[in-house]
Amino acid sequence: MCWATTALSPELTGYHDAPHAATRTHIRGLGDAALDRVVDRGWTPPVTLGVRLISVVSDDLHHAGRAAYLRGLLLGSST
């Protein structure tokens, strides 16, 4: 089986780049008080915005790891 590598289309990279830029702008504008704000009282202790952001990043890294694992299965360990 041969897998070709192709460049991503501008539409696809734009689908990623636009929300990524907006997210970076928003997060850079957050101060300590915003990060300490409780966003979920359903947990003990209550979850702050800072903790929630870290959990989202952690979840994203898990997904990236799964994608890399699957790519390795499909393409072999040489990639």
Give me the residue spans of the domains in the chain: 34-79
pLDDT digits (tens, 9 = 90+) for 20-78: 999 999 999 999 999 999 999 999 999 999 999 999 999 999 999 999 899 899 988 66
DSSP 36: T
Please tell me the pTM assigned to this model.
Answer: 0.69
pLDDT at 4 over 60: no
Residues 66, 14: Cα–Cα separation, whole Å: 23
- Percent helix / strand / coil, the chain, rounded to 5: 65, 5, 30
Predicted confidence at residue 78, as pLDDT, reads 60
Listed as own residue / partner, the contacts of 35-39 with beta carbons closer than 8 Å and 24 or more positions apart are none
Higher pLDDT, 2 or 66: 66
Q: Give one DSSP letter per residue of 55-72, joined into a string.
A: HHHHHHHHHHHHHHHHHH
Predicted confidence at residue 1, as pLDDT, reads 44
Higher pLDDT, 13 or 21: 21
